[in-house]
Amino acid sequence: MRKWPLLVALVVGALAVALVVGWLVLRDEEGDPDLAVALSGSGGTASGDIKKLPSGWRIELDADLPRLDDGDYYQAWLSDDAGTLVPIGTFNEGEDVVLWAGVSPLEFTTLTVTRERADGDQDSSGDRILSGEIEPESG
């Protein structure tokens, strides 16, 4: 019969932990809004959805870009008002691209896609294919 108080204490403790973890997860999701970006340029148009996760900002981009091979590729960047560029990923074609940012798109509010060449130069080529401003997701 002495097992009941211990069992009740364990259940209450487990519920308390679950409530705290749930509150922390919901607080983080509510604290940072989901964002969206519409891009345009010489490559056409693209759209993207941006969500804050514990590991950074996940950017799902969908563009109708032709495949690049033979040392050519696309590079995505975030930039702030001062023009500071932060690379967020490379890819070969524009459908269903997932990029990751370690900086906040609430501060680095411009997303740009450039055409790059595997030439050992890590700086942007400046060959902008798409560009757009990040905004709160509507709806």
Domain ranges of the chain: 1-31, 35-136
- What's the pLDDT score for residue 139? 61
Superfamily of chain region 35-136: Superoxide dismutase, copper/zinc binding domain (2.60.40.200)
Pairing of strands 110-117, 72-79: antiparallel
Three-point CA angle 103, 107, 113, nearest 5°: 70
pLDDT attached to residue 23 = 45
Tokens representing residue 17 in the block: 């932990």
Ramachandran class of 16: left when φ > 0, alpha when ψ lies in -120 to 50, beta otherwise: alpha
Which pLDDT belongs to residue 10?
Answer: 67
Structure token digits, residue 103: 């900086």
Predicted pLDDT at 32: 79
List CB contacts of 43: < 8 A, sequence separation 6 or more: 63, 65, 94, 113, 129, 130
Residue 27 is predicted with a pLDDT of 46
pLDDT string in tens for the chain (139-residue length): 566 666 666 666 665 555 444 544 444 445 678 999 999 999 999 999 999 999 999 999 999 999 999 999 999 999 999 999 999 999 999 999 999 999 999 999 999 999 999 999 999 999 999 999 999 987 6
* Rounded Cα–Cα distance for residues 26 and 14 (Å): 18
What pLDDT score was predicted for residue 99? 98
Q: What span, in angstroms and rounded, lies between the C-alpha atoms of 43 and 63? A: 9
**Residue 26, pLDDT score:** 46
